Amino acid sequence: MDPVQADFARTLGAGRTTVAYRVLLPSLLPSMAGPIKVACSWSWGLVIVGELLGAKSGVGRILNAFIAILSTDLVVVGIVWILILAVVVEKAVAVILKWLLRWNAGKV
């Protein structure tokens, strides 16, 4: 953020919280949008790896059971289900970021 923006807001009488919510946060959100999307993408892979390595319940345990009985079709169904969930979450994050950054249209 350019410090001139915060100084200008203080010159107009804005307090610390007003500067934080009205100047600092809107200037940081566009640069945080990319890392938020990447974190959501990576999180699904890490969840599955964690579950495959020893979860007592969840999708990873079910996939391990299917792998143990050599049921390839059910393993593929599980992978497709995880893919669908990941796409839905990514679209939801994109919609939320688009709403939060509606003033910055077309740049995120």
pLDDT one-digit tens code per residue, 45-69:
788 788 778 777 777 778 888 888 8
pLDDT at 95: 92
- Kindly give the interhelix angle for 59-68 and 25-52, rounded to the nearest 10 degrees: 30
65-108 pLDDT, tens digit each: 888 888 888 888 888 888 888 889 889 999 998 888 887 765 55
Q: What is residue 57's predicted lDDT score, i.e. its pLDDT?
A: 77
- Whole-number pLDDT of residue 92: 92
pLDDT at 42: 84
In the prediction, which pLDDT does 106 show? Answer: 58
- Cα(54)–Cα(36) distance, integer angstroms: 27
pLDDT value for 76: 85
Cα 107 to Cα 31, 65, 86, distances in angstroms? 10, 45, 23
Rounded to whole angstroms, how far apart are CA atoms 78 and 52?
Answer: 12
Mean pLDDT taken over the chain: 83
Hey, what are 105's tokens?
A: 């249209």
- Cα–Cα distance list, 106 to 89, 97, 103 (Å): 21, 12, 9
Task: Measure Cα distances from 100 to 15, 16, 42, 58, 92 in Å.
Answer: 23, 22, 22, 33, 12
